[in-house]
Chain A
Amino acid sequence: GAVVSQHPSRVICKSGTSVKIECRSLDFQATTMFWYRQFPKQSLMLMATSNEGSKATYEQGVEKDKFLINHASLTLSTLTVTSAHPEDSSFYICSASNRGLGNQPQHFGDGTRLSIL
Protein backbone atom coordinates (compact mmCIF):
# COMPACT_ATOMS: atom_id res chain seq x y z
CA GLY A 1 0.00 0.00 0.00
CA ALA A 2 0.88 3.66 -0.15
CA VAL A 3 3.66 4.74 2.18
CA VAL A 4 4.09 8.09 3.86
CA SER A 5 7.30 8.75 5.72
CA GLN A 6 7.45 11.38 8.44
CA HIS A 7 10.70 12.59 9.94
CA PRO A 8 11.83 12.98 12.64
CA SER A 9 9.78 10.61 14.76
CA ARG A 10 10.73 12.43 17.92
CA VAL A 11 12.39 15.74 18.68
CA ILE A 12 13.23 17.43 21.94
CA CYS A 13 14.43 21.01 21.86
CA LYS A 14 14.70 24.18 23.87
CA SER A 15 12.09 26.89 23.96
CA GLY A 16 12.57 29.43 21.18
CA THR A 17 13.95 26.93 18.70
CA SER A 18 12.36 26.40 15.30
CA VAL A 19 11.64 22.81 14.35
CA LYS A 20 11.05 21.40 10.88
CA ILE A 21 9.05 18.22 10.28
CA GLU A 22 9.11 16.49 6.91
CA CYS A 23 6.38 14.44 5.32
CA ARG A 24 7.21 12.41 2.23
CA SER A 25 5.06 10.23 0.02
CA LEU A 26 7.37 7.42 -1.03
CA ASP A 27 5.46 5.64 -3.78
CA PHE A 28 2.83 8.04 -5.05
CA GLN A 29 2.39 11.67 -5.95
CA ALA A 30 0.74 13.60 -3.15
CA THR A 31 -1.26 16.45 -4.63
CA THR A 32 -2.64 17.21 -1.21
CA MET A 33 -1.11 16.90 2.23
CA PHE A 34 -2.75 17.42 5.58
CA TRP A 35 -1.19 18.31 8.90
CA TYR A 36 -2.84 17.26 12.14
CA ARG A 37 -2.10 17.83 15.79
CA GLN A 38 -2.99 15.36 18.48
CA PHE A 39 -2.95 16.11 22.19
CA PRO A 40 -2.57 13.24 24.68
CA LYS A 41 -5.60 10.97 24.73
CA GLN A 42 -7.44 13.19 22.28
CA SER A 43 -8.39 13.01 18.66
CA LEU A 44 -6.64 14.49 15.68
CA MET A 45 -7.30 18.10 14.92
CA LEU A 46 -6.69 19.31 11.39
CA MET A 47 -4.27 22.22 11.33
CA ALA A 48 -3.94 22.90 7.64
CA THR A 49 -4.32 21.51 4.15
CA SER A 50 -1.69 22.07 1.51
CA ASN A 51 -1.88 21.54 -2.22
CA GLU A 52 1.31 21.18 -4.20
CA GLY A 53 2.52 24.52 -5.44
CA SER A 54 -0.11 26.52 -3.54
CA LYS A 55 -0.33 28.23 -0.21
CA ALA A 56 -1.66 26.13 2.62
CA THR A 57 -5.19 26.59 3.92
CA TYR A 58 -5.19 26.89 7.68
CA GLU A 59 -8.00 25.91 10.00
CA GLN A 60 -9.52 28.52 12.25
CA GLY A 61 -7.38 29.22 15.26
CA VAL A 62 -4.13 27.94 13.76
CA GLU A 63 -1.48 30.63 13.47
CA LYS A 64 -0.04 30.55 9.97
CA ASP A 65 3.02 32.52 11.06
CA LYS A 66 3.65 30.04 13.82
CA PHE A 67 3.18 26.90 11.77
CA LEU A 68 4.79 27.38 8.38
CA ILE A 69 3.83 24.83 5.75
CA ASN A 70 5.60 24.29 2.48
CA HIS A 71 4.47 21.86 -0.20
CA ALA A 72 6.92 22.54 -2.99
CA SER A 73 6.85 19.15 -4.67
CA LEU A 74 4.47 16.25 -5.20
CA THR A 75 6.36 14.11 -2.71
CA LEU A 76 7.33 16.47 0.09
CA SER A 77 5.63 18.80 2.52
CA THR A 78 7.23 20.40 5.53
CA LEU A 79 5.81 21.88 8.72
CA THR A 80 8.03 24.32 10.58
CA VAL A 81 7.09 25.24 14.12
CA THR A 82 8.70 28.62 14.58
CA SER A 83 10.00 29.83 17.93
CA ALA A 84 8.50 26.81 19.64
CA HIS A 85 7.28 27.04 23.22
CA PRO A 86 6.24 24.34 25.70
CA GLU A 87 2.58 24.72 24.73
CA ASP A 88 3.53 23.61 21.21
CA SER A 89 4.54 20.22 22.56
CA SER A 90 2.31 17.69 20.89
CA PHE A 91 2.10 14.79 18.46
CA TYR A 92 2.03 16.04 14.87
CA ILE A 93 0.81 13.75 12.11
CA CYS A 94 0.80 14.31 8.38
CA SER A 95 -1.23 12.56 5.72
CA ALA A 96 -1.08 12.58 1.96
CA SER A 97 -3.46 11.93 -0.86
CA ASN A 98 -3.64 12.16 -4.63
CA ARG A 99 -6.90 13.84 -5.54
CA GLY A 100 -6.22 13.30 -9.21
CA LEU A 101 -6.76 9.58 -8.80
CA GLY A 102 -10.32 9.96 -7.52
CA ASN A 103 -11.51 7.81 -4.66
CA GLN A 104 -8.18 7.73 -2.81
CA PRO A 105 -8.01 7.90 0.97
CA GLN A 106 -5.49 9.80 3.02
CA HIS A 107 -2.37 7.86 3.93
CA PHE A 108 -0.85 8.78 7.26
CA GLY A 109 2.71 9.11 8.45
CA ASP A 110 3.79 7.68 11.79
CA GLY A 111 3.80 11.07 13.47
CA THR A 112 6.35 13.29 15.18
CA ARG A 113 6.38 13.73 18.91
CA LEU A 114 7.57 17.25 19.65
CA SER A 115 8.69 18.11 23.16
CA ILE A 116 9.70 21.66 23.97
CA LEU A 117 11.62 22.17 27.19
Chain B
Amino acid sequence: AQSVTQLGSHVSVSEGALVLLRCNYSSSVPPYLFWYVQYPNQGLQLLLKYTTGATLVKGINGFEAEFKKSETSFHLTKPSAHMSDAAEYFCAVSEGDGANNLFFGTGTRLTVIP
Protein backbone atom coordinates (compact mmCIF):
# COMPACT_ATOMS: atom_id res chain seq x y z
CA ALA B 1 0.00 0.00 0.00
CA GLN B 2 1.14 3.50 -0.71
CA SER B 3 0.45 6.82 0.93
CA VAL B 4 1.81 10.32 1.03
CA THR B 5 1.99 12.80 3.86
CA GLN B 6 2.54 16.47 3.21
CA LEU B 7 3.46 18.35 6.35
CA GLY B 8 1.95 21.79 6.42
CA SER B 9 -1.23 22.55 4.54
CA HIS B 10 -0.13 26.17 4.19
CA VAL B 11 3.33 27.60 3.69
CA SER B 12 4.10 31.30 3.37
CA VAL B 13 7.42 32.67 2.19
CA SER B 14 8.67 36.08 1.19
CA GLU B 15 9.49 36.77 -2.42
CA GLY B 16 13.09 35.74 -3.00
CA ALA B 17 13.20 33.40 -0.01
CA LEU B 18 13.78 29.66 -0.07
CA VAL B 19 10.79 27.46 -0.72
CA LEU B 20 10.64 24.11 1.10
CA LEU B 21 7.58 21.89 0.80
CA ARG B 22 7.75 18.63 2.68
CA CYS B 23 6.62 15.21 1.49
CA ASN B 24 7.02 11.83 3.12
CA TYR B 25 5.83 8.64 1.54
CA SER B 26 5.05 5.08 2.40
CA SER B 27 5.42 2.33 -0.16
CA SER B 28 5.82 -1.43 -0.11
CA VAL B 29 7.71 -1.35 -3.40
CA PRO B 30 10.35 1.02 -4.80
CA PRO B 31 8.37 4.20 -5.28
CA TYR B 32 7.94 6.50 -8.19
CA LEU B 33 7.47 10.00 -6.82
CA PHE B 34 5.95 13.11 -8.33
CA TRP B 35 5.31 16.75 -7.56
CA TYR B 36 2.43 18.51 -9.25
CA VAL B 37 1.32 22.15 -9.14
CA GLN B 38 -2.28 23.28 -9.40
CA TYR B 39 -3.37 26.83 -10.10
CA PRO B 40 -6.94 27.90 -9.22
CA ASN B 41 -9.63 26.15 -11.24
CA GLN B 42 -7.09 24.25 -13.28
CA GLY B 43 -5.82 20.72 -13.51
CA LEU B 44 -2.42 19.53 -12.38
CA GLN B 45 0.87 20.27 -14.05
CA LEU B 46 3.81 17.97 -13.52
CA LEU B 47 6.76 19.77 -11.91
CA LEU B 48 9.14 16.84 -11.66
CA LYS B 49 9.33 13.14 -11.05
CA TYR B 50 11.69 10.56 -9.62
CA THR B 51 11.76 7.10 -11.11
CA THR B 52 15.23 5.61 -10.78
CA GLY B 53 18.81 6.83 -10.91
CA ALA B 54 19.90 10.25 -9.69
CA THR B 55 18.18 11.10 -6.43
CA LEU B 56 18.25 14.87 -7.00
CA VAL B 57 15.67 15.67 -9.61
CA LYS B 58 15.36 19.00 -11.34
CA GLY B 59 12.03 20.15 -12.66
CA ILE B 60 10.42 23.11 -14.32
CA ASN B 61 10.29 26.66 -13.00
CA GLY B 62 13.48 26.21 -10.97
CA PHE B 63 12.09 23.55 -8.63
CA GLU B 64 13.98 20.48 -7.55
CA ALA B 65 13.42 17.59 -5.19
CA GLU B 66 15.65 15.01 -3.57
CA PHE B 67 14.67 11.40 -3.00
CA LYS B 68 15.97 10.19 0.35
CA LYS B 69 15.16 6.54 0.83
CA SER B 70 16.45 6.42 4.41
CA GLU B 71 14.09 9.23 5.37
CA THR B 72 11.26 8.16 3.01
CA SER B 73 11.14 11.77 1.90
CA PHE B 74 10.86 13.71 -1.34
CA HIS B 75 10.88 17.36 -0.33
CA LEU B 76 10.43 20.07 -2.95
CA THR B 77 12.66 23.13 -2.93
CA LYS B 78 13.31 26.29 -4.87
CA PRO B 79 16.11 28.70 -3.95
CA SER B 80 14.18 31.90 -4.58
CA ALA B 81 10.40 32.23 -4.57
CA HIS B 82 8.59 34.24 -7.21
CA MET B 83 5.08 35.64 -6.93
CA SER B 84 4.05 33.33 -9.75
CA ASP B 85 4.90 30.31 -7.58
CA ALA B 86 1.81 30.88 -5.44
CA ALA B 87 -0.33 27.79 -6.00
CA GLU B 88 -1.30 24.42 -4.53
CA TYR B 89 1.37 21.74 -4.63
CA PHE B 90 0.70 18.02 -4.49
CA CYS B 91 3.14 15.22 -3.84
CA ALA B 92 2.19 11.83 -5.25
CA VAL B 93 3.49 8.27 -5.26
CA SER B 94 2.82 5.38 -7.59
CA GLU B 95 4.00 1.84 -8.05
CA GLY B 96 5.01 2.54 -11.60
CA ASP B 97 5.88 5.34 -13.87
CA GLY B 98 2.77 7.36 -13.30
CA ALA B 99 0.69 5.45 -15.77
CA ASN B 100 -0.36 3.45 -12.76
CA ASN B 101 -2.54 4.78 -9.99
CA LEU B 102 -1.28 7.91 -8.32
CA PHE B 103 -1.78 8.40 -4.61
CA PHE B 104 -1.81 12.06 -3.73
CA GLY B 105 -0.98 13.92 -0.57
CA THR B 106 -3.43 16.44 0.79
CA GLY B 107 -1.59 19.34 -0.79
CA THR B 108 0.28 22.39 0.41
CA ARG B 109 -0.86 25.87 -0.46
CA LEU B 110 2.11 28.14 -1.08
CA THR B 111 1.67 31.86 -0.52
CA VAL B 112 4.38 34.25 -1.63
CA ILE B 113 4.52 37.54 0.21
CA PRO B 114 5.80 40.54 -1.76
Contacts and interface: CB of A to CB of B under 8 A. Distances in A.
**Secondary structure of the B contact surface, majority rule:** loop
Interface residues on A, range: 20 to 34
A61 interface: no
A67 B86 CA distance: 33
B106 A111 contact: no
A108 B43 contact: yes
Contact of A104 (B34, B98, B101): B98
B70 interface: no
A11 to B, nearest CB: 13
A101 B36 CA distance: 21
A113 B42 CA distance: 10
B25 to A, nearest CB: 14
Interface string A1-31: 0001010010000000000000000000000
Interface string B44-61: 111001010000000000
A43 B98 CA distance: 17
Interface residues of B, number: 20
A52 interface: no
B15 to A, nearest CB: 24
Contacts of B31: none
Nearest to A94: B43
A66 B42 CA distance: 24
A105 B101 contact: no
A104 B99 CA distance: 6
Interface in A89-117: 91, 93, 95, 97-99, 102-111, 113
A49 to B, nearest CB: 7
B13 interface: no
Given A42-B106, A106-B102, 14 more contacts: A6-B43, A34-B101, A46-B101, A93-B44, A97-B98, A102-B97, A103-B97, A104-B98, A104-B99, A107-B46, A108-B36, A111-B41, A111-B42, A113-B41
Interface of A: 4, 6, 9, 32, 34, 41-46, 49, 91, 93, 95, 97-99, 102-111, 113
